[in-house]
Every structure is written in structure tokens, then in C-alpha cells.
């Protein structure tokens, strides 16, 4: 009887460890690099890190470059603050949809599709 209880206790502990590892090991859906395919003749990207920091960059423009910032998701709203040369630039996007490969954002009536890189 004592052996059965010990085995049951070990199984329960291992189950709890696996459940916790699955919960805490999972990254948020936005984490990673997302790049536009076409947007107003420019190609730009966001790199979202797990710690709430991000990088915004232009890859095909006369003004190619990048800047660091922060982001926060609140429900279906994505708030991004970029630290530009002339101060902070704030964007408030509605998250239309997000999957493992595609992110669709809307801001001021304009919709943009980004692909996971």
C-alpha cells in the first residue's frame, strides 16, 4: 500500500512539472520577427521579444534603418512605442488576426499583413 501511494505521488508530481513547463515555456503569439510583404512601397518589420521590447525597421526604402521600442498587448489591441531620433512614436493597432505564420493589424482604417520570418 505504501509503495502504491509513493508511485501515485511521483506520477502526480511529474504531471504537475510537465503542465507547468508547458504553460511557462510557451511564447506569446507575437514573439518573433514579422515583415510586411508590400505596404505603401515600403517593406518594414517588427521584432517582438518576450520581455516586451521590440525593434522596428525599414528594409527597402531610402530611409532604411531601425529603432528600438516597447510593446504591450491588451486584448486585441497592440500598443507599440518606438524610440525614434525625434522622440517617441506611438502606434495603436487592432489585432485583426494572428496565427503562427501571419499577423494582420489595423490602424486608422488601414490594414497591413505581416508574415512570420
The total number of structural domains in the chain stands at 1
pLDDT of residue 6: 58
Q: Which CATH number covers residue 70?
A: 2.40.128.280
Q: Which three cell numbers stand for residue 65?
A: 534603418
- pLDDT at 51 (0 to 100): 97
- 44 in a structural domain: yes
Higher confidence at residue 10 or residue 87?
A: 87
When the pLDDT of each residue in the chain is averaged and rounded to a whole number, the result is 81
Sign (positive/negative) of CA torsion 65, 109, 117, 37? negative
First CA to last CA distance, the chain: 55
pLDDT of residue 39: 59
Looking at residues 57-69, what average pLDDT do you find?
81
- Burial grade of 54 (CB within 10 A; 0-12, 13-18, 19 or more): buried
- Report the pLDDT value the prediction gives residue 38, as an integer from 0 to 100: 62
In a domain, 57, yes or no: yes
C-alpha cell belonging to residue 87 = 522622440
Identify the domain containing residue 36 by its residue range: 28-116
Residue 59: inside a domain, yes or no? Answer: yes
Cβ 74 vs Cβ 61: under 8 Å: no
Whether pLDDT at 102 is above 80: yes
Amino acid at each position: 500500500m505504501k509503495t502504491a501511494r509513493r508511485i501515485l505521488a511521483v506520477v502526480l508530481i511529474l504531471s504537475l512539472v510537465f503542465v507547468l513547463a508547458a504553460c511557462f515555456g510557451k511564447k506569446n503569439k507575437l514573439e518573433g520577427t514579422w515583415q510586411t510583404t508590400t505596404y505603401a512601397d515600403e517593406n518594414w518589420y517588427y521584432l517582438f521579444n518576450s520581455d516586451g521590447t521590440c525593434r522596428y525597421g525599414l528594409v527597402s526604402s531610402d530611409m532604411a534603418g531601425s529603432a528600438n521600442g516597447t510593446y504591450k498587448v491588451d486584448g486585441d489591441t497592440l500598443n507599440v512605442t518606438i524610440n525614434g531620433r525625434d522622440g517617441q512614436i506611438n502606434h495603436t493597432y487592432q489585432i485583426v488576426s494572428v496565427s503562427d505564420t501571419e499577423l494582420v493589424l489595423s490602424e486608422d482604417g488601414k490594414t497591413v499583413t505581416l508574415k512570420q520570418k
